[in-house]
Chains A and B, each alone.
Chain A
Amino acid sequence: MMLKAHEGVQVDIIDRLPTPFGLVRSGVAPDHPETKIVVNQFSRVAANARCSFFGNVTLGSDVSLAELRGTYDVVVLAYGAESDRSFGIPGENLRGIHSAREFVWWYNGHPDMHNLVPDLQNTDSAVVLGQGNVALDVARILLRCTTKLASTDIAGHALDALKSSTIRKVYLVGRRGPVQAACTAKELREILGLQNVHVCIKEGDLATSPADKEEMRNSRIKRRVHELLSKAATMHKEKNSNDQKELHFVFFRKPTRFLPSEGGSTVGAVELEKTLLKDDAVTGNQVAVGTGEFEDLKCGLVLKSIGYKSLPTEGLPFDNYKGVVPNLRGRVLSSESETTTVEAGLYVVGWLKRGPTGIVATNLHCAEETVASILEDDRNGVFMAPSDSRRQGRKGLLEILEQKNARYVPFDGWEKINSEEKIAGQLKNKPREKITTWDELLKAANGG
Chain B
Amino acid sequence: MFSRIFQLGTRLLRETRAGGNLTSNSINSSYYQGQLSRHSAPAKSILFSTATSSHEGSEDKEKISVTFVNKDGSEQTISVPVGMSMLEAAHENDIELEGACEGSLACSTCHVIVMDVKHYNKLEDPTDEENDMLDLAFGLTETSRLGCQVIAKPELDGVRLALPAATRNFAVDGFVPKPH
Contacts and interface: CB of A to CB of B under 8 A. Distances in A.
B143 to A, nearest CB: 14
B108 A361 contact: yes
Contacts of A7: 179-180
A282 interface: no
A375 B177 contact: yes
B129 interface: yes
Contacts of A224: 131-132, 135
Contacts of A360: 100, 107, 109
Contacts of A8: 180
B175 A376 contact: yes
B92 interface: no
Nearest to A24: B100
B166 interface: yes
Nearest to A187: B132
A34 B106 contact: yes
A6 B102 contact: no
Interface residues of B, number: 29
Interface stretch (A37-45, A139-147, A383-391): A37-45
Interface in A205-256: 220-221, 224
A32 B138 CA distance: 22
Interface in A360-395: 360-361, 364-365, 368-369, 372, 375-376
A85 interface: no
Interface of B is mostly: loop
A221 B109 contact: no
Nearest to A28: B106
Interface in A1-55: 5-8, 32, 34-35, 37-38, 40-41
B62 interface: no
Contact of B166 (A35, A37, A368): A368
Interface in A115-141: none
Nearest to B71: A368
B135 A37 contact: no
A368 B101 contact: no
B131 A6 contact: no
Contact of A6 (B170, B173, B180): B180
B132 A372 contact: no
Contacts of B129: 186
A133 to B, nearest CB: 11
Nearest to A5: B177
A224 B102 CA distance: 25
Given A369-B169, A372-B169, A372-B170, A37 B138 contact: no
B135 A329 contact: no
Contacts of B125: none
A185 interface: yes
Given A38-B100, A184-B132, A220-B140, A372 B175 contact: yes
A189 interface: yes
Given A7-B179, A186-B132, A34 B104 contact: yes
Contact of A361 (B104, B138, B170): B138
Given A35-B107, A186-B132, A359-B136, 15 more contacts: A34-B104, A34-B106, A37-B102, A38-B100, A38-B107, A221-B135, A224-B131, A224-B132, A224-B135, A361-B108, A365-B138, A369-B167, A369-B169, A372-B173, A376-B173
9 contacts: A34-B104, A35-B106, A185-B128, A224-B131, A224-B135, A361-B109, A361-B136, A365-B138, A372-B173
Interface of A: 5-8, 32, 34-35, 37-38, 40-41, 184-186, 189, 220-221, 224, 329, 359-361, 364-365, 368-369, 372, 375-376
Across the A-B interface, the 5 shortest Cβ-Cβ residue pairs: A34-B106, A186-B132, A34-B104, A5-B177, A38-B100
